[in-house]
């Protein structure tokens, strides 16, 4: 179940993150060219900032789904299998607690700022802030799947897919 969820999340997010990176490159290039050769295009800075926020959170979710986050395993690799599972599950529980708090705080912030509009494009900021609870909740679900895998004796595979 955890592997299926991770593969589904990665399959959806991989092209989204790629498209976001390409869009960010185009927007920043337009910003540089317009400032050097013409009059600066006012909305490019705002779009670049919003794309960077979304790419940060979606990229972190993709990295978690593909098990590409950095992990220092020098100590856990030396533990016996039972102790390794306990330590791994405890670490994942700590991650879930953090992600649940981040999701709740992100939801609160998103709701609190729902009336605000961006300065240049005038889009509702709720769209910009919505990535925080969305990606946090998704990462918590991924961690929950990894905990279930650990508790059933299938340690998460740390190899790159």
The domain limits of the chain are 2-151
CA angle 132, 134, 137 (to 5 degrees): 100
Phi/psi class of residue 160: alpha, beta or left (left: φ > 0; alpha: ψ in -120 to 50)?
beta
Distance from C-alpha of 152 to C-alpha of 138, rounded to nearest angstrom:
21
Q: Which phi and psi (to 5°) does residue 124 adopt?
A: -60, 130
Distance from C-alpha of 118 to C-alpha of 124, rounded to nearest angstrom:
6
Global pTM value: 0.89
Residue whose structure tokens are 């960077």: 52
Of 103, 106, 124, 104, whose CA–CA distance to 114 is shortest?
124
Per-residue pLDDT of the chain (161 residues; tens, 9 = 90+): 678 999 999 999 999 999 999 999 999 999 999 999 888 888 999 999 999 999 999 999 999 999 998 888 898 899 999 999 999 999 999 999 999 999 999 999 999 988 999 999 999 999 999 999 999 999 999 999 999 999 888 765 554 44
């Amino acid at each position: 179940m955890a592997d299926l969820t991770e593969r589904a999340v990665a399959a959806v997010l991989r092209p989204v993150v790629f498209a976001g990176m390409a869009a960010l490159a185009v927007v920043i290039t337009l910003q540089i060219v317009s400032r050097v050769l013409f009059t600066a295009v006012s909305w490019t800075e705002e779009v670049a900032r919003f794309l960077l926020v979304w790419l940060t959170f979606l990229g972190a979710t993709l990295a978690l789904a593909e098990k590409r986050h950095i992990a220092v395993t020098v100590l856990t690799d030396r533990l016996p299998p039972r102790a390794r599972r306990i330590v791994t599950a405890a670490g994942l529980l700590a991650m879930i607690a953090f992600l649940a708090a981040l999701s709740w705080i992100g939801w609160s912030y998103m709701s609190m700022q729902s009336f605000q509009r961006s300065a240049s494009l005038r889009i509702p900021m709720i769209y910009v802030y919505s990535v925080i609870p969305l990606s946090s909740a998704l990462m918590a679900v991924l961690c929950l799947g990894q905990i279930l895998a650990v508790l059933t004796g299938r340690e998460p595979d740390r190899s790159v897919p």
